[in-house]
Structure 1
Amino acid sequence: MLTGDRLKEIGLFESLGDEGRAEFAAASEEVRFSPGEAIIEEGTEPDSMYVLLSGRAEVYRRVRGGVEERLAAIDADDGGAVVGERGLLRPSPASATVRAVDAVEAVRIPRQVFRRMIEAGHPAAYELAYRISRTLARRLVQLDEEAARAIRRLEDRPQDAELEVFRDRLITEWSV
C-alpha cells in the first residue's frame, strides 16, 4: 500500500507536507509494468501521470514512415522520473511512447482525482501542479538548447534543398 512516507522519498513530493503526501498516497496507486509494456502510448490521451520508482524505460516517437525512434532512456533509480505530466494538467495526446525496458514500478496519479483535488482547493494539488510546471519548463529549455545545436550543425554543413526545408521547419515549428 502506498503511504505518505513512501512519497516523501520521491523528489516530486518532497516539498509537500505530511498531510499533502497522505492525500496523494490515498488518491494514487502503485502499478507495475512488465518488460516491453507501454506505460504511455504516443497519440493516445493519457489519463494519468506516472512517477517511476524502479526499473528502466525508454521513450520513443514515431518519425517519417511511422518508424519509432528512441529519444531517451529513463532510469528510475536516478531520482524517480515523471512521465505523462502534461496529461495530468490538461487533456492532450501523448507526444511519445514510454515503454518499460525491464520491470517498472510506478505511482499512478489519475487525472480525474487530481482535477477533483484542484477543484476542491487542496494546497497539495496546487503544489504538485507547480512542481510539474517547473519540470515542463526545464524540459522546454533543454529542448530549445537541443534545437539550437541541431540548427548550428545544419548551418555548418553544405546546404541542400532538403536540409534547408528541415531547418526552416525546425525554427518555425519549435519556436516558443
Structure 2
Amino acid sequence: MEPDKPLRVRETRHGKTFTLAPHSVIYEQGSESDAVYLIQEGRVELLRSNQQDSVGVGILEKGGILGEMGVLRGVPRSTTARALTEVSLHMVTRERFLKSLDSVSSLTLPVLRTLTERLHEANGTLARMQPFGRGVALKHVRTITILPGSSLTQWRLGVHGFEVEHLPYIVGRASDGLPARLSEGGMTIETDETDPLEEEHFGLFELNGRLVIHDLGSDGGTTVNGETVSRGAYAGTAGLINGDNEVAAGPGSSPYRFIIRVT
C-alpha cells in the first residue's frame, strides 16, 4: 500500500520516493506490512490504537526507518504512521528489502527477526507506561503563550512573551546578532555555541490531537515540569498540561528557561 495522496512521487533504482503533506497517513495499524520507509526529510508520528483510544508511541525524524518490524516478523502493521510535518520518504518493497538482507548472510534474517521481536515487546511496555502524560487535547486549547522563565530569556523575549499560532513550533539557537527572531514556525534566540540551547532544541507539536513538547535530539535534553525528556532518557516527548508548564533547554538550572502557558 502506498502513502495517501503524495504531493510528489519519484521513481528510483531501488524504489519510490514520496513527498507528503503534514497529517498524511503513511500506513494504518492492521494493514499489510508490504514496504519499509526511510525518512529523508521531516518528522513522522507513530500511533497505537486500542478499543478505547489511540496513544502516541513515538516520533521519528530524518534517518529513521518505518515499517521494518512488520516486514521482518511477517505480521500486519502494529502502529499507524502519520506525517507530522511535510516529509520525504523512500519506499522499498517487502520483497526487495528481504532480498537485500538475505544477500548479506544466511544468518542475518533470523537474527534480525529475533531482535525485532524483543523491540516489539519493549515498545508495548513503553506504550502502556506512558511516563510523561498524554498532553491536553488541542480542541480544548484557546491560547498557547511562551513567557520568559529566567532573567536571560526575559531580556531576550520581553516581559509579556508571545503567542504560538501554528504547530509545529521549534525553539532553538541563532547567532545573527538579534536577541530573538520570531516566525510562524518557530523562535531562535542569540546564544554562544557553548550554551545549552542548541540550533533546534525542542518543539511544540500536535500528537494524536494533543499538545506535546518533543526534544529534538539535543545533547542536554529538555526539562519539562521537572522531568527530563531526551533521546538518552526514558522518552523524548512529554505532554503539556493546562496552565503553566516550566520548560528548560537543558537541565532545570539552565538559564534558557520558559513558561509555556496553555489556556
- TM-score class normalised by the smaller sequence: 0.5 to 0.7
Distance 2:81 2:31 in 1: 12
Higher relative contact order (CA 8 A, sep 6+): 1
1:74 partnered with 2:60: yes
Distance 1:129 1:54 in 2: 31
Asked whether the equivalents of residues 55 and 104 of structure 1 are also in contact (C-alpha less than 8 Å), the reply is yes
Distance 1:39 1:87 in 2: 14
1:37 partnered with 2:24: yes
Residue of structure 2 in register with 1:27 after alignment: 14
Equivalent in 17, 25, 50 of residue 63 of structure 1: 50
Matches within 5 A, 1:93-172: 93-117=76-100, 122-123=103-104, 134=115, 137-138=118-119, 140-141=121-122, 143-144=124-125
- SS of the residue 1:42 aligns to: coil
Say if 1:94 and 1:112 are closer, same or farther in 2 by CA, change over 3 A.
same
Matched to 1:30, the amino acid is T
- Where does structure 1 lack aligned partners over 5 or more consecutive residues? 1-24, 151-176
Matched to 2:83, the amino acid is A
Greater C-alpha Rg? 2
Equivalent in 35, 41, 44 of residue 48 of structure 1: 35
Identity of aligned residues (%): 22
Which structure has greater helix proportion? 1
Per-residue deviation, residues 84-139 of structure 1 (Å, max 9, x unmatched): 11232253211110100111112211012234556xx5228975885676466445
Distance 2:123 2:27 in 1: 21
Which structure has greater strand proportion? 2
TM-score (norm. length: structure 2): 0.37
Distance 2:89 2:106 in 1: 19
- Where does structure 2 lack aligned partners over 5 or more consecutive residues? 1-11, 132-263
Asked whether the equivalents of residues 114 and 125 of structure 1 are also in contact (C-alpha less than 8 Å), the reply is no
Distance 1:107 1:54 in 2: 10
Say if 1:28 and 1:42 are closer, same or farther in 2 by CA, change over 3 A.
same
- SS of the residue 1:69 aligns to: strand
Asked whether the equivalents of residues 85 and 132 of structure 1 are also in contact (C-alpha less than 8 Å), the reply is no
Matched to 1:93, the amino acid is P
Asked whether the equivalents of residues 73 and 116 of structure 2 are also in contact (C-alpha less than 8 Å), the reply is no
Say if 1:28 and 1:132 are closer, same or farther in 2 by CA, change over 3 A.
farther
Give, in angstroms, the shift of residue 53 of structure 1.
Answer: 1.7
Distance 2:46 2:107 in 1: 28
TM-score (norm. length: structure 1): 0.52
Give, in angstroms, the shift of residue 141 of structure 1.
Answer: 4.1
- SS of the residue 1:45 aligns to: coil
Matched to 1:53, the amino acid is Q
Distance 1:138 1:86 in 2: 8
